[in-house]
Structure 1
Amino acid sequence: MDRTSRITPQLDLVGLVVSDMAASLAFYRRLGLDVPDPAGNAPHVEATLPGGLRIAWDTEDVVRSFDPGWTRPAGGHRIELAFRCGTPGDVDAVYEELVAAGYRGHLKPWDAVWGQRYAVVLDPDGSGVSLFADAGPDSATGAGPDPATDAA
């Protein structure tokens, strides 16, 4: 198939497998996603983001219903979502709000060498959720976080 006739799939949905649907939806609502309030204890929930990309949450039981051999990944998280904040101060504020609400901070906000204010919190299933904003030309220190002291 030559380049001009190549089929190009479009990314349409990011799916998250969750162990506690209510806890996961509460976390992502706190981040500002317009997540529908499911009737009862829905095992599958979807939301359409601005721009049309969809995000879906499925319980582990739903995934096992069509993939019986599925097992929860061991070790670190397998996916990380990144949320752009308006300003570097917003990164700090959202991080502090989430940690104060009981969510686990992974990397406290820092000025990254690539020119962004950056932080990472963990969702209820332990997946990393990055918070970032353009830091401006004078704010990048080049010093990354110290995992031994920067995790909350």
Structure 2
Amino acid sequence: MQGTVKAIDIAVSDLGAAIEFYRRFGLEFVRDAYMPDDHAGCDLPNGLHLMLDTDDLRSKVTANWTPPAVGRTFLTFEYASPDEVDKTYAELVGAGVRGLQEPYDAPWGMRYATVADPSGNGVDLYASLPAS
């Protein structure tokens, strides 16, 4: 049986902090009217729906679930240029966001960097390198 990916759900420890963090990337989350302290969603331009669920909610809806010690989700944002990757990384780290990987020219032809959201989930920033 083949399904269709319609949504991505990220477990977070602090919903408010996560909403503020992802707002820096232009994502506007709407808190759920029935669970405003535990669930928020954001419609993406490509038709996907991105959700944030608190660890508390996740543990109620998934049997035996506990938050991982280290985040295993990496949400990835593409930028128009390598300079934008560098600038975004510097702005985030300057604002107190934890950097996981400083910008570098990856062997697969991209300028690449990684930061952590407030719950420790990875957020990759990349742009294609100019053809040489």
TM-score under structure 1 normalisation?
A: 0.80
**Would you say 1:15 and 2:9 are equivalent positions?**
yes
Partner amino acid, structure 1, of 2:46: G
Residue 50 of structure 1, aligned match among 45, 54, 59: 45
What does the per-residue CA deviation read over 1:17-65, in whole Å, with 9 as the maximum and x for residues that have no partner? Answer: 1111111111100111122366795210011100111110011111122
| Deviating more after overlay: 84-93 vs 31-40 | 31-40
User: What TM-score, normalized by structure 2, do the two folds share?
Assistant: 0.91
How far, CA to CA, are the matches of 2:118 and 2:104 in structure 1? 23
CA shift in 2, pair 1:16/1:130, >3 Å: same
For CA contacts below 8 A with separation 6 or more, give which structure has more relative contact order.
Answer: 2
- Equivalence map 1:59-78=2 (5 Å): 59-74=54-69, 76-78=70-72
Separation in structure 2 between the aligned mates of residue 35 and residue 61 of structure 1, nearest angstrom: 19
Matched residue type, 2:91: E
Give, in whole Å, the separation in 1 of the partners of 2:121 and 2:61.
22
Partner of 1:96: 90
Q: Mark the runs of 5 or more structure 2 residues left unpaired by the alignment.
A: none
CA distance in 2, matches of 1:118, 1:79: 16
Q: Which has the larger radius of gyration?
A: 1
Gapped regions of structure 1 (runs ≥ 5): 1-6, 139-152
Determine whether 1:32 maps to 2:26: yes
Is 2:125 the counterpart of 1:131? yes
In the TM superposition, structure 1's runs of 4+ consecutive aligned residues that sit over 3 Å from their partners are 37-41
The alignment of Structure 1 onto Structure 2 pairs a total of residues equal to 131
Corresponding residue for residue 73 of structure 2: 79
Aligned equivalent of 2:99, options 99, 105, 121: 105
Question: 2 CA distance for matches of 1:77 and 1:63?
Answer: 14
* Structure 2 CA distance for aligned equivalents of residues 54 and 135 of structure 1: 29
Aligned-residue CA RMSD in angstroms?
1.7
Distance 1:18 1:115, change over 3 A: same
Q: Structure 1 residues 91-100 or 30-39, which shifts more?
A: 30-39
**More strand per residue:** 2
